[in-house]
Chain A
C-alpha cells in the first residue's frame, strides 16, 4: 500500500562527541504510517549504512515504554507530540505527509551529548545513589503483607513509582530541572512504611546532589508534567518540597 506512505523531511541533530560542534543534517524518508518512530530511524540507518554513510546514533532498549532509554526531542516535545507515550511507542501515523520533523537530543548541562541523539543520563543515577533507596538488613525474607499499607497510599506510591527515569522532564523544563523525576522517587519511598527510616536524610541528600550536578531549579511552569510519558503529577514536587522543609526543621544537627 505504498500510496498511503508518508514522505517526510527529517532534520536530525548530528554531533560527533561531547565537545564537538553539532548541527542538523537533513534526510528525506518514505515510511509506513504503521511504523514506530524508532523503526523509522532504523530504516533510515539501514539505508545510510548500505550507502556507506554514518548512521544516526540514538538509544533504545525495551521498545515498549518501560526502560526509559529512548528519549528524543521531536519538534520541541520530549517523546514527541502525543501525550503519555515514550518515543518507542510513538507511531508515524501521528505525523502528516510532507511534514518536516526536527529531532534533537535532550538538552541540559547535566545531560551532556555523547553522540548525535544520545545523551549521558548518569546524573540521574548519581541522584539515586545519594538517597533513592531503602537500606535493608540481611536476614530472613519478610512476609509479603506483614506491613499493612492502606490501598490508596499504595496506589499513590505506585503512581509515583511509574517513573521510568527517562529524563523527559529535564528535557521539557525551561530550567532543565530534575525535580519531577526526583520527586517521584522521593514520593514513592516517603509514602511507604519501608521508606520512613531514611526519609529526612534522603530528601536532603537528593536535593543537594541535584543542585550539585547542574540541574536548574523549579519555577513551577509544569512543562514536565505535560511531557512526562508516565503522567507523573507535579503534586509529587509539592510533596518533595514539603518533605524537604519538614526535614530541614526536624532533622538532626549533623544532617
Chain B
C-alpha cells in the first residue's frame, strides 16, 4: 500500500477526508445560497444570474464534476466509517447514556446525512435537470424563475425542502466545529468561538435555503 493510501485509510485519515470534503461542501453551499438570493431581487436578476452561469458553462461543468467527486467521497467515506464504527461495538448497551453525554447534531450525522442525500437526488432530478436540459417541465420554457415557481407551487415538494433544510442545519452545526477538531485546531482560547461560528453558519444556511420554498409556496402562493 502506498504511503498516501495507508495514511488516508487510518482512523485519523478517514476523519481528515470527511473534514476536507465537508469543508469544501460548506464553501460550495455558501456560494450556492448567495446565488439563490437573487430570487428575492426579482425575475430578471435571477434569470440574469443563471444566464451568466450558462455563459461560463465549460467552467461550471468542471466544477460540477469536482463537486460530484467530493460528494461521493464524503458519502462513501461516511458510510464506511458508520459501518466500521458500528462493528466496533457488536453488543449494544441495554441502557444508553448517549442522549445525555452527546448533543443531538453530533450523534445523528449519519441519519441527517442520509436524508440530505435523498433530498439531493430530488433536488438534482428537478431543478438541476430542468435548468440544464429540459426547461420548464410543462412548457419547456427556459425562464428559470418560472421553473422555481412551478416546483414550489407543489406544497408537498416545498415541505420536503423545508424539512431537509432543517436537518441540514443540524448536520452543518456539528460539521463545522468537527472539521476544526479533526485538523487539530482546538484550543480553549478559540474553540468556543469556532462552535459559535459553526452554529451561526448552519442557521444562515438552513434559514436562507428554507426561506425560498417558504416564500414561493406559502407567502406568495406561486402568484408571482
Q: Closest approach, in angstroms, between the C-beta of B74 and any C-beta of chain A? A: 14
List residues of chain B with CB within 8 A of the CB of A13: 94
Given the complex of chains A and B, what is the CA–CA distance between A182 and B85 in angstroms? 17
Whether B94 and A102, one on each chain, are in contact in the complex, defined by CB atoms closer than 8 angstroms, is yes
Taking a contact as CB atoms under 8 Å apart, the answer to whether B102 and A226 are in contact is yes
The B159-190 residues at the A interface (CB cut-off 8 A) are: 174, 177-178, 181-188
Indicate if A235 sits at the interface (CB-CB under 8 A). yes
User: A128-148 vs B: 1/0 string, CB under 8 Å?
Assistant: 000000000000000000000
Say what secondary structure dominates the interface of chain A: mixed
Q: Which of A25-33, A54-62, A86-94, A207-215 contacts B (4 or more CB under 8 A)?
A: A207-215
Report how far A13 CA is from B98 CA in the complex, Å. 19
Compute how far the CA of A241 lies from the CA of B102 in the bound complex, rounded to whole angstroms: 21
What residues of chain A lie closer than 8 Å to B86, measured between beta carbons?
Answer: 175
Which one of B15, B90, B93, B95 lies within 8 Å of A109 (CB-CB)? B90
Cross-interface CB contact of A241 among B12, B88, B94, B95, cutoff 8 Å: B12
- Tell whether, in the assembled complex, residue B85 and residue A219 are in contact, meaning their CB atoms are under 8 Å apart: yes
A72 to chain B, nearest CB (A): 12
In contact, A75 and B97 (Cβ under 8 angstroms):
yes
Interface size on B, residues (CB 8 A): 43
**Does A107 make an interface contact (CB < 8 A)?**
yes
B139 within 8 A of A: no
Q: Is B32 an interface residue (CB 8 A)?
A: no
**Cβ-based interface call for A248 (8 A):** yes
With the chains together, A242 CA to B90 CA distance in Å?
A: 30
Are B12 and A221 within 8 A (Cβ)?
A: no
Residues of A contacting B84 with CB < 8 Å? 216-217
A104-B94, A175-B89 as given contacts; A218 in contact with B186, CB under 8 Å = no
Contact with B along A215-237 (1 / 0, CB 8 A): 11111111100110000001101
The 5 closest A-B pairs by CB, nearest first: A242-B184, A76-B97, A216-B88, A238-B186, A175-B85
Give 22 CB contacts A-B under 8 Å.
A11-B94, A76-B93, A76-B98, A77-B100, A102-B94, A104-B95, A107-B91, A109-B90, A175-B85, A176-B85, A177-B85, A216-B88, A220-B177, A221-B107, A226-B102, A234-B186, A235-B187, A238-B185, A241-B16, A241-B181, A241-B182, A245-B183
Give 13 A-B pairs besides A76-B96, A78-B97, A240-B12 with Cβ atoms closer than 8 angstroms. A102-B94, A104-B93, A104-B95, A109-B88, A109-B89, A217-B85, A219-B15, A221-B103, A227-B97, A238-B187, A244-B10, A245-B16, A248-B7
